[in-house]
Each structure stands twice: as structure tokens, then as C-alpha cells.
Amino acid sequence: MTTSIFTNHKATPIRHAIHSADVFSRRRKFSHLPCKLNVKQSVETVQLWAKIKNTRTTTTTAFATPNENDEGERSGSHACSGEQVFVPLENNYSSNDLDEEAAGSLPESGSGVFQMAEHSVNLASLLDKLKALHLHVLASEQWNASRLKLCHNNYVESAKNLIHYLALKCLDIEPLKYDLALISLLNLEMVNSSVLASLTTCIELLENLLLNSSITGKDVSAGISTQGKLYHQTNGNFTINTMRMKACLNRELLLGPLQGSRCTHIMTTIGEEALECETLIADLIKAGTSIIRINCAHGSPESWSEIIRRVKRSSQMLEAPCRILMDLAGPKLRTDNLKPGPCVVKVSAKKNATGKVIFPAQVWLSHKGAGAPPPHLSPDAVLFIDDENFFTVVKVGDTLRFFDARGKKRMLKISRVFHVFSGTGFMAECTRTAYVSSGTELYIKRKKDRLPVGQVVDVPPRESSIRLRVGDLLIISRDSTCGEDNSYGHASGAYRITCSSGYLFDAVKPGERITFDDGKIWGVIKGTTISEIVVSITHAGLRGTKLGSQKSINIPDSNIRFKGVTSKDLVDLEFVKSHADMVGVSFIRDTRDIIVLRQELEERKLQNLGIVLKIETKSGFEKLPLLLLEAMKSSNPLGVMIARGDLAVECGWERLADIQEEILSFCSAAHIPVIWATQVLESLVKSRVPTRAEITDAASGRKASCVMLNKGRHIVEAISTLDNILNSNSRQMKAEVKSLVPSSHLV
């Protein structure tokens, strides 16, 4: 059977609109079609109204009626270029919601719902429109046959369904949706994961209704048998159950099987701070984490190895599977490291509006080898003492005295003692602000003298930052030797940071926007040289916003061309090869990045390594269908991460909600698992108190296969909360409601 579709206007992105009186069928002979397919048999045509801007022009859909001896695909289809798909897409980010199917069974003829709809819906006309839609979907698959042949066997059906979904999406089918809703037959917004099967089921149900109904006197039996054969021939491996099983299989291959009654995986990002507490990783897994993410942009192979060792050990001890995802750093633009600050820690009590202390600062004291405090404690400061005699001399109730970095007399009162994994630790209280540096001596005052009990060691340097306000000038330098202490501004009246990436200096132009730290600071480029960029700050906090080391830089207006896989990524890939279950590919922009990655994986024989495409650029989002089809050419388990931080900056905050729904819809059609990431329960992770919006955002993560949390002070509690949100059984009928329903009707 040869199937094709063409239009009688130029090949520009269009949206088709099907209306009640716009569809008609007729049999006609074609000797030659504009799409260069030679047809030697009867061809059925359907004319649709096409909308180009606000004008309607005629569109012709041509398809072949199968013969009894039809041998599938007789004539070749067009070869597809790398950046083209048959179905054009607009930048119209409508919200297509759930990845569910709805093709309900029809009641017997003469039932009330169809009698009520008889005057408003012409069922025969509705059937014609559904058939035209079905044939349009088949035509799109035929047109992209050469592209589909390149897909790996694991993804052929999924790739075809993605093409079917794109064909459906390019049409304006609102009137058809309304007609189907009137008879409660099919919701076209809920057929993403099984487009062809849902349309086929709907058509067959409608045909059966017309056969057995007295609503219309039209004899449709002649066309039904032929069309029925067509549907069964084309439906093959596209049943709803088959598509659902394919989606579940792809999810398990990448993320692993779900444990117990859980419905969604939880991924947690951790770094070198996880090594400070021996029990942290085990606590994360106990709370519900099933995937650990390591960002290769931070840390070293030594720290990564230790983290992975602890993950595997904890996973085996708890008998809870936990996979490893390692994100390649990619070509992300970041600020370079600023000059380290002083090695001092600030200890400050909580005060009310009048300055009265309402809660003393909590300070953890332990020997250097004892490690971090237990995870259920949240001290305001951690101090390590070099003298082990400290733990034999000090007891609960003692008061430790010291002079802080300013020479001020301060006191710490021991309130509790804890026996931790590698020793003993104390919790102390401090009621006055103190600045403690390395070398600070602690002593206990006795009746006649004072007894030294230890010295503070290894106080880390404070993180340096510059505070930028609206109107400030910022100079970005290519040369790191130009960096200097910017705490109080540069002598020229401008702050200065460095960025070692040459991509930034080669691509930007005056007048373009630039953002820092995931959009917390915005500016406009005022001037550029080969080694410097001058930025005027246009958006920042009322009191200014801090910009520190290794913070992101985005240029949403620039057509910057990155190298998809960097030299550092290739080095890190060697480590990933033997340690991780999945690799995350950052800043994917087009199919060339996928091709380079596939070549590197094939060279290392990594056909089973999971691939997670991080969608965090405007280009990556707009080309997502092409990226998925390109990635489907290999056998590697495949997934997509919605990296909402950079995506919001590049595409616009106000469009983020629609964009993430679009990505979910595309991936649902391709049966590809989605990871919902960035700022999930961020307030809870950092301050222990979530916002209402964060709770509902986390609940929206149920639509994804996995939800990711970033590291933070209260990460264990946040994971437990997220696990409850994602797996709560809110559908269960409450006892108060059950009393309103007869028990005989309850299942």
C-alpha cells in the first residue's frame, strides 16, 4: 500500500483545521502526485481546510485503498534530511496534558447520549473526519519511512508513535474535539502514547454504531469491511496495551524497577559534602532515593569513587536498589573562582525585632576525625577541635570561653553529648555573635586558673562573592590573572570577574542580554573587546544580589555555537564507563551533539549505558522531536531531563509551565521517561519550610517518571516529604464520602 499526503501550497509551516462541512470523500484516478509517488491504483482523496495565518485554503490528502494482495510499501518514500520531519511544528506551546488514553466503549444503539447528540453531531460526517485524520497520521509515517528505518529495533514502534503524535499536533482539531466530547467517545488530548490505536478504536466503535443504528439511513457497510482491513493491517504493534508496556519497559531499562508501591523514582544530587557524614547516603536511600546524581562539573574522580562506593555499600546493606547518574559538565558558561575569603565562621543567635535573643546559636564540637554531626541535627556552625583530651575533660553543663577573631570575649555552653559513628561530639549554645577562626583556643575557667581544653582547626575559607545592584557595571575578563578582591568594588568603579571560556567572548554583541546564577541577576552588554565584556546590571535584588564562584552565565539572545562534547567530558566519560549506570548530556542543542555522543559511546562499546538528554536550551527544546529520533538510532536506554533553571532563562519564565508540559507530551508519545528537575522543594531543602507553590509543583512531578532534588541542609527530610507527596493515595474515597454512596455500588 502506498500512502502519501501533500498540500497545494508552498511547504511552509501551517496549521490545518477540520470543520463539520469541510470533509468529503470521492474516488479519483491519479497518475502522478506532487510528492513524486507513482500511483497505479485507485486513490481516495479527502479535502481539508487549512489555516495559513487567518486565511483558509484547500488541502488535499491522498491515500491508497489497499487491494487484497497489497504488499505493504510498494514505492519508496523521500529520503529525510537531518533537520526535517514531515510534520512542521509551530512555536505554539499549548498545554497538552496527560499521557493517558481514552477510548471508551459505546452504548447500544438508541441510547440516550447519542439521541441527545443527534441534532448537534452528524455521526457519518464525524466518521469521515476521523478517517481523514487517521489517514493523515498514516501518511506522516509513510513520508518519514526512511528516517524510521534508521531507528534501532528497540525504538521503532515508539518512533512511529512520535511521528503519529506530531502529525496529530500540527492540525487544528478543536471542532473535532468538541464533537467527540459531545458523544463522550474520545479525548484527543489524551492519546499521546498510542495515537494510532486510539484513533482506530474510535473509528471502529463509530462504524459499529452506524451499522446497528437507525440514526442514519446511510448504508456504510460497503466501506466498513475495506476500512476495517486497513485499520487491522496498520494497527499491528500499536495497540494501547503494547504502547503502555513499551513505555514501562523503557522506564525500567533506564531508571530501574520501582520498589514496593512507589509510582515515581526520586533522584538526589550529592557532592563532596556527602563524604563528611558517614551515614548520609544510607539515610538518603532509606528516605526514598532510588537514583544518586553526581555532577562532573564539581569534585574529582577520587571523591566520585568514594561516593559511589558508599552508595553501593548502603544499597546492598539496605537491600534497596540505587542507580548512579553522572552528568557530564558540557560546555556550560560559568564564572571562574573568586579569591577565597578569610578562614572564619560566623556564629549568630536568632533574635527578635527588638534584638533580644530568642534562640541561641547551635554549635557542633567534635574531634576532626569524628566527622559531621548526625543528620537529624541542624547546627548553625561546626567546629573541629584538635585535642582529643577535650572529650575527656569537658562534660554537659561546662562553659567554654574564648576570644573570637575580633578579640571579643565569648562563651559556649555545652548542652548535649552525642556518640557518633567515629567518636563523640557535643552540642553547645552561644548567645552572642562570634567570629571563630582556625587557632582559636578554648578553655574552662576554674576557681584559681583556666584550663585549656583544645584549639579550633580547619575552619574553611568563606565563599567570596560580589554584591551587584541595578546600575552597577561588571567587567567580565578572559584573563584570570586580572582577578582581584572585589568585595568593595573595583578602582575603576566596576566590579570584575573572570570566565575562561572563549565561547563567551567570541559570540556576544553589544545590546544583547546576559544573565547570571540561573537568572538571579540580569544585565545588558554595553561593550566588548577580544578579552573583556562590559555589562550594565539591569535586574537584581532590592539590596543587591551576590554573585559568587562557579555560577552560571546565559546569553539568551546570542546564537552561540558550543562544542557538544568537550575534552573534559571525554576524560570524564572514561570514569563514567566503569562506574555509572547513566550518563547525563548537558546543553544538547541539535542532532550533531547526539551523533558525536553516539560515536564516542560506540567507540567505547557502551551500548547498555543509559543516556539522559538534558533539555536546558531554547534550541534543544525546539528540536526535541529530532533529538529523540536521532537518539533512537542506538540501543542505549534513553531518557530526558527537564532542566528548568537554564530553560526558564533561555525561553522566558512565563513560558516555562507550557514548555515543560510540551516536553512531557513529546516524551510520552516517544515512550521516553522524563526526569523533573531544578528547584523542587528548594525552600524545604534549604530552610526546612516549603512554600505552598513548591508542594503543588512537586505533586505535578507525578506526571514524570522521576523527580530530582538538589543537595541542601535538610535534604533527608525533603526526600521523605517528596516520597509522601508522589506516592500518596489521594484517590481513595474518604469514610465521610462513602456514607453518601450505597454500599452495593462500591467496588
| pLDDT tens by residue, 440-466 | 999 887 666 777 778 899 898 888 889
Q: How many CB atoms lie within 10 A of CB 585?
A: 21
pLDDT digits (tens, 9 = 90+) for 512-526: 999 999 889 999 999
Residue 273's identity, in one-letter code, is E
Decide which of 417 and 744 is more confident. 417
| Full-model pTM | 0.75
Average pLDDT of 556-576? 85
Residue with cell 527588638: 354
**Band of residue 182 on the pLDDT scale cut at 50, 70, 90:** confident
Using CA atoms, how far apart are residues 607 and 637, in angstroms rounded to an integer? 9
3-state helix, strand, coil in the chain (%, to 5): 35, 25, 40
pLDDT tier at 733, thresholds 50, 70, 90: low
How is residue 103 annotated by DSSP? B
pLDDT for the residue numbered 599:
93
Judge whether residue 488 has pLDDT over 60: no
Domains of the chain with CATH codes: 123-210+231-255 (no CATH), 265-331+562-727 (3.20.20.60), 344-457 (no CATH), 465-482+492-554 (2.40.33.10)
Residue 82 pLDDT > 80, yes or no? Answer: no
* pLDDT above 90: residue 57: no
- Which of 128-132, 251-255, 683-687 ranks highest by mean pLDDT? 251-255
Q: How would residue 17 be classed by pLDDT, with cut points 50, 70 and 90?
A: very low
Q: Evaluate if residue 281 carries a pLDDT over 60.
A: yes
Residue 387 has pLDDT above 90, yes or no: no
Q: What is the pLDDT of residue 224?
A: 42
Query: What residue spans of 239-299 are helical by DSSP H?
Result: 240-255, 280-287
Q: Using one digit for the tens of pLDDT, what is the confidence trace for 216-263? A: 444 444 444 444 444 444 455 668 888 899 999 999 999 999 988 899
pLDDT mean over 551-570: 84
Of the two residues 181 and 467, the one the predictor is more confident about is: 467
More confident residue, 569 or 8: 569
Print burial letters for 120-135: b (CB count within 10 Å at least 16), e (below 16).
ebbbebbbbbbbbbbb
- 275 three-class SS: helix
Q: Average pLDDT for residues 304-323, to the nearest whole number?
A: 95
Q: Is 70 exceeded by the pLDDT of residue 160?
A: yes
The three-state secondary structure class of 381 is strand
pLDDT, position 360 = 93
pLDDT at 720: 94
Neighbours of 433 (CB within 10 A): 15
Read out DSSP for 155-171?
GHHHHHHHHHHHHHHTE
In this model, does residue 45 exceed pLDDT 50? no
Looking at residue 333, its pLDDT comes to: 86
Averaged pLDDT, 103-131: 60
Please choose, from the candidates 411, 419, 413, 417, the residue with its C-alpha nearest in 3D space to the C-alpha of residue 371. Answer: 419
pLDDT at position 261: 86
pLDDT of residue 547: 93
Q: CA 254, CA 239: separation in Å to the nearest integer? A: 23
How many other C-beta atoms are found inside a 10 Å radius of the C-beta of residue 694? 20
pLDDT at 377: 81
Residues whose CB is less than 8 angstroms from the CB of residue 30 and which lie 6 or more positions away in sequence, other chains included? 39, 43, 62
Average pLDDT (171-195) is 86
In 3-state terms, what secondary structure has residue 203? helix
